Homo-oligomer: A and B are copies of this chain.
Amino acid sequence: MKSLPLLVGLGALTAASSVFAWDYVLLDTDKAAQNQQITSQQLGVKTDKPFTVTMRTLHGGRQEGVSIIDIDNGTMKLSVVPTRGMNVLQASVGDVRMGWDSPVKDVVNPAFIELNGRGGLGWLEGFNELVARCGYEWVGHPGMDNGELLTLHGRAANIPASKVTLQIDEKPPYAIRLKGELKEQAFKKVDFSVQTELVTEPGSTSFSLNDTLTNNGDYPKEYQALYHSNFSTPFLEQGARFEAPVKQVSPFNDKAKGDLGDWQTYRAPTSDYDETVYNIVPYGDAKGDTLTVLHNKAGSLGVSVGFNTKQLPVFSLWKNTDTKGQGYVTGLEPGTSFSYNRRFQRPLNLVPTIAPKEQRQFQISYSLLADKGAVDKALGQVKHIQDGRETEVRKEPLVDLTKEQ
């Protein structure tokens, strides 16, 4: 335990020193979000890379009242949005930016979004994040299921976080943990909570999400999760490649059939391309761990997205290589499910159930691959996990969408 003389006078900050970490409550029932900053210097932490965590509030437009938490770990700068499901707005190392340029420029307060608008596509009015949580009652395209309109990708990205806390380990490597709880609750319908966690370390070019879904209810409930992780330039470009240990790949729909031969490579920004989506069943290693990689054409810069196939057994590759203005972006999307409406996924056994009081963990790690060495090392891991196993390339979509009414 450590005394915190440097915190005297910080006012808004309440630091509780636990055995292992400094704890700050940034937002809670009786504590409003407010502009504040916590620095390694204040904590008396000597690291090669001084770090800073800053909380601020946005104003104007549809972003009125939105909270942002900026974490600068000394090397990587991350922005997290408590008001929008603890989504990761962006991350950057120097001038290399993970994330993308959506036409949506505001960080939109969910108070101003009707998810049921636009035929269930209201979610698109706020979509601009590097990582947007999808779930947890459902994910996928809008449409009727059990007599109810399921809106695009569920509610998680538009649930403001309840209690938000920051923990900083007191010992090297001084891990920085930002936690926020999402409550997805409706009488008779659902009683989920999701304890989200983002972890990074001073000087690191990686961060991890470590989410725990709890079914607080007394009944088993269907659930779905999908981590919509979106990248653009400098990773995405003509000739950029996606690599993963693949057991099965199939086109999402008829449109994607046409480009199936090139499913692992990307186009330049292409007018009228819209999007193609490929459904992937990845291989994991003995523990289920797997790794997916996006790298530029030269193989000199990339990102990896790692996850566990026992937690998130399938993966959607979203290739939205339309024009820059329309949103030149690819989504690497580990999930319990693909992006079909829930009613199409039950026959695929991709609508799992969570028993009363049970929990599910979803852990995803994001790393910048800053040079050819890092890219090659990650591609080596992919090959190692594939381990010579076969890849089934299905020519037809798993779902006959023409049966949709």
Q: Which of B32, B125, B185, B188 contacts A106 (CB 8 A)?
A: B185
Per-position 1/0 for A30-41, Cβ under 8 A of B: 111100000000
Closest to A275 in B: B188
Contact with B along A243-263 (1 / 0, CB 8 A): 000000000000000000000
Nearest CB on B from A181, distance (A): 8
The answer, yes or no, to whether A124 is at the interface (CB within 8 Å) is: yes
Q: Does A384 make an interface contact (CB < 8 A)?
A: no
Copies in the complex: 3
| B59–A27 CB distance below 8 A | yes
A271 to B217, alpha carbons, bound, how many Å?
Answer: 12
The CA of A370 and the CA of B271, in the complex, are separated in Å by 55
Once the chains bind, are B124 and A189 in contact (CB under 8 Å)? yes
Contact A186 B125 (CB under 8 A): yes
A118–B324 touching, CB < 8 Å: no
In the assembled complex, A327 has its CB within 8 A of some CB on chain B: yes
Q: Do A28 and B60 touch across chains, with their CB atoms under 8 A apart?
A: yes
| Contact between chains at A160 and B112 (CB < 8 Å) | yes
A residues 110-158 near B (Cβ < 8 Å) are: 110-112, 114-119, 121, 124-125, 127-128, 147-149, 151
Judged by DSSP, the binding face of A is: loop
Chain B: CB-nearest residue to A118: B148
Please state if A124 and B187 are interface contacts (CB–CB under 8 Å).
yes
- Across the interface, do A117 and B116 meet the contact criterion of CB distance under 8 Å? yes
| Interface residue from B29, B103, B106, B148 paired with A59 (Cβ < 8 Å) | B29
Of residues 208 to 228 in A, which have CB atoms within 8 Å of B's CB atoms?
216-219
Interface segment among A14-22, A62-70, A289-297: the answer is: A62-70
Residues of A participating in the B interface, judged by any CB pair closer than 8 Å: 27-33, 56-65, 102-106, 109-112, 114-119, 121, 124-125, 127-128, 147-149, 151, 159-164, 181-183, 185-191, 216-219, 271, 274, 322-327, 356
20 extra interface residue pairs, beta carbon distance < 8 Å, beyond A103-B187, A187-B327, A219-B323: A27-B59, A29-B58, A29-B59, A29-B63, A30-B58, A32-B59, A60-B162, A60-B163, A61-B162, A103-B186, A104-B186, A105-B183, A112-B160, A117-B151, A118-B148, A118-B189, A121-B186, A121-B189, A188-B326, A188-B327
